[in-house]
Structure 1
């Protein structure tokens, strides 16, 4: 039976237009951030170089023994990915704040959490995803056994978006400060600990032949919680920082 009630049809049309406009805003923000990121290629390369340098220098500072490096490899790769993600976090909202476009975004009628989610996704695609793709190379350099490669890739693929979401909260709180990079680290690093624990535990479980589904499920739960709450927290932090 077809519903011909005009009020219901109008409500359905309004909801569909709202969903389309939100999707349009999201993808427009994502496209803009990707274009801006490609123009600042140094910001893209620096986290990858840092990620590679940590894995390269670590054997020189500890020991080049393959057995020891294989044991430490999961933690080293995850800590390097965490710090590399944090390295690129300060510039997430900085350029928009300096040229005044952030204030225009805050004053616009479009939902701020949609814009924030698009910016965070662009940051992850330019930082977290390349780090995930580079992780097997670092695993080989650190003599990580082949059994742990799949766990390493999956844990980074699920965990790095959470790092971007949580780090964006710190970036939003310090966007009005001239030297907010150190303060971001102090605010965000304690919140990164659960992701670091479950990420390294997933790789170690894969190395010992244990099921990794539980650790990946916990990482997925953290990601779902971050997707639900972090955009709202980032939006509130931006309003506090800019108005203050």
Structure 2
């Protein structure tokens, strides 16, 4: 499992679908917002929680189709399916690699973009906490979607249509936690829901993804 994780990390960086692409898209989304709604600090501060979370969500979405696509194209996925490793473990490792190359950099970079959007000081801790708890769910749910659409033509579009509705609860609770932080309120309850969503996704989605892979690899 460790060797597979290290291999996926190297491939993600070399293919350009990891750190750089997600961060660049995140930066572009948050940079364009002031041009669209105006540079007034109070307005930006009000919309900052939603914009930061939408930017993080879309940045994660960009590289989802690469989770299994490269392995499917070169035949590695067929070899992995016949290896002694359980498919559920392979799906979990792929999701972890995606989070390390996409979700984790977004968590680190988000406070910088919060400054750009005039996010109030008390909200930064809630922003980092919400992204830390919520982005694993985005990667695991995305891995399930990638497993369902692997090998399909125009699978990227179908993947987006499949995964985006699953992302809505994470988006709602993540943005709400940060919004409460901007008001000086306690954002603990949304964080509990975020943690629950991530744990439920980690418990269920590897099995669902493995079942989808078995069907697609027949």
| 1:39 counterpart (1, 8, 14) | 14
Shift, 1:180, TM fit: 1.0
Shift, 1:209, TM fit: 2.0
Structure 2 equivalent of residue 155 of structure 1: 130
Structure 2 equivalent of residue 219 of structure 1: 194
Structure 2 equivalent of residue 11 of structure 1: none
Structure 2, unmatched stretches of 5+, are: none
Structure 2 equivalent of residue 105 of structure 1: 80
Shift, 1:64, TM fit: 1.2
Structure 2 equivalent of residue 239 of structure 1: 214
Shift, 1:35, TM fit: 2.0
Q: Which runs of structure 2 are paired with 1:71-220 in the superposition (5 Å)? A: 71-220=46-195
Q: What do the CA deviations read for 1:27-59 (whole angstroms, capped 9, x no partner)? A: 222111112223223543111111000000111
Shift, 1:81, TM fit: 0.4
Q: What do the CA deviations read for 1:52-103 (whole angstroms, capped 9, x no partner)? A: 0000011101211111000000000000000000001011100000000101
Structure 1, unmatched stretches of 5+, are: 1-25
Q: 3-state DSSP class of the match of 2:66?
A: coil
Q: What do the CA deviations read for 1:108-138 (whole angstroms, capped 9, x no partner)? A: 2321111211111011000000011110011
Worse-matched range after superposition: 36-45 or 227-236: 36-45
* CA RMSD across the alignment: 1.1
> Whole-Å Cα distance in 1 between the matches of residues 85 and 17 of structure 2?
31
Shift, 1:206, TM fit: 1.3
Task: Number of aligned residue pairs: give it.
Answer: 218
> Whole-Å Cα distance in 1 between the matches of residues 212 and 19 of structure 2?
25
Shift, 1:237, TM fit: 1.1
The structure whose Rg is larger is 1
Given the two structures, how large is their TM-score scaled by the length of structure 2? 0.96
